[in-house]
Amino acid sequence: MKNDRTATILSPDPTRSAALSLLAAVLDRHRPLEDALDSLPPMDARDRAAAHRLAAAVLRRRGTIDAVLEPFLARNPPSEGMHILRLGAAALLFLETPAHAAVGTAVALARARNLPKLAGLVNAVLRRVAENGASALEELDGPRLDTPPWLWTSWGADARDIATAHQSEAALDLTMIGDAPAPEGGLLLPTGSVRLPTGTRVTELPGFETGAFMVQDAAAALPARLLGAEPGQHIADLCAAPGGKTAQLAATGAAVTAVDLNPARMQRLAANLARLGLVAELVGADARSWRPATPLDGILLDAPCSATGTIRRHPDVPYLKRQNDILPLTQLQDQLLAAATAMLKPGGRLVYAVCSLQPEEGAARAAAALARLPLDPDPIRRSEMPELAAALGRDGHVRTHPGLWPQYGGLDGFFIARFRRI
């Protein structure tokens, strides 16, 4: 790499500047990445998407990036400087950015942030990374470095497969509505979802405006399917927003009531149903205290959880959640399970789901519900999901994780259990 090529990049790149803001929001202020993205000033859509991709690459591979940087730093610079180094290293190591561009934009960003003394350090360190970083990667255990120890331990024998899957961005999965044809180039997965490549712009796909499909990970499409709703039944979707599962249930012909406490998310749910041409009763309420006018035939409870099953899509999750967050979530899940059970008619079916990989939020909650609530297990049978038999346990629960289906690119982590009201 030549000095004059680096020197030609003088003005700060809006993509790098926005990515730095996103990193600072997540790592320093513990804000969700999507919230930080929404707070960015107006900018070109492509720059915005590129900033998101760059920041997500740092979050996804931060442990590895820091390990590569460490030998070239006598001590870590202040937080903002460290983020600039991480952005440059991510561009070099994982995004195939030409070395002169990755280094030059990082140096320009340091200068634009009034860190002239840091600019020299950034230039020197990132040049070393450009020369030696790729070989350094070969000696590092990336999956382990990029995973907080408490998560690695909790995932047991599946930890390495899960963490390896987290290194890659998730593809775009669609659930088709009715007989709508899949977009050209989509891969039909064994469970019926349609998978398109990472980076696909969903709003530009034919059929988006006409409601031909909804965006939904293949694993997220399973709970509504396993409830088995039928025309004429009255079904509730608790904690329903943003409404993917509500739409699935409404498409069966069942009468669906969607309950959620968050007004903004309910507005999004309403907009999604309108685009899809589907109808459901929308109730803004706390599902722990809301009750239907008459007992229900079925309930889908996709409960609030740690969301550790969605790290491929939300690489900020490991920086926002801590081990001590799990207990309050399990207490909330128990309360919601009790409320849902009280809403069911005898023989009514309840599907409990969480997009979590944590055992406390999965099988432990199902066992607690059976021990204290008037419920019988309604095991999910292999014949209901032969295409994902590896995710089905002997207890009739489903546990998907990102390391499954490597031939298709994985899927989100979900726990699903099914019950009948006594």
305 tagged catalytic: no
The answer to whether residues 299 and 343 touch, using CB atoms and an 8 Å cutoff, is yes
| DSSP character string of 388-408 | GGGGB-TTS-EEE-TTS-TTT
- As a whole number of angstroms, the distance between CA 102 and CA 98 comes to 6
Dihedral over Cα of 85, 90, 95, 96: its sign? positive
- Helix 62-69 vs helix 45-60: crossing angle, to nearest 10: 70
79 half-sphere exposure, CB direction, 13 A CA radius: 9
Q: What distance in Å separates the CA atoms of residue 216 and residue 251, rounded to the nearest whole number?
A: 15
Count CB-CB contacts under 10 A for residue 210.
Answer: 12
In Å, how far from its chain's centre is CA 292? 31
**Measured between alpha carbons, how far is 327 from 308 in angstroms, rounded to an integer?**
14
CA dist 418 and 409 (Å) reads 27
30 vs 318: CA distance, rounded Å: 10
Backbone angles phi, psi at 405, to 5 degrees: 55, 45
Contact between 82 and 195 (Cβ < 8 Å): no
- The amino acid at residue 392 is L
Which of helix, strand or coil describes residue 126? helix
CB 413 within 8 A of CB 310: yes
Burial class (CB in 10 A: 0-12, 13-18, 19+), 368: middle
Instruction: Find the Cα–Cα–Cα–Cα dihedral 157, 160, 161, 163, rounded to 10°.
Output: 130
Catalytic one of 255, 355, 404, 417: 355
3-state secondary structure of 348: strand
Q: Catalytic residue numbers? A: 355
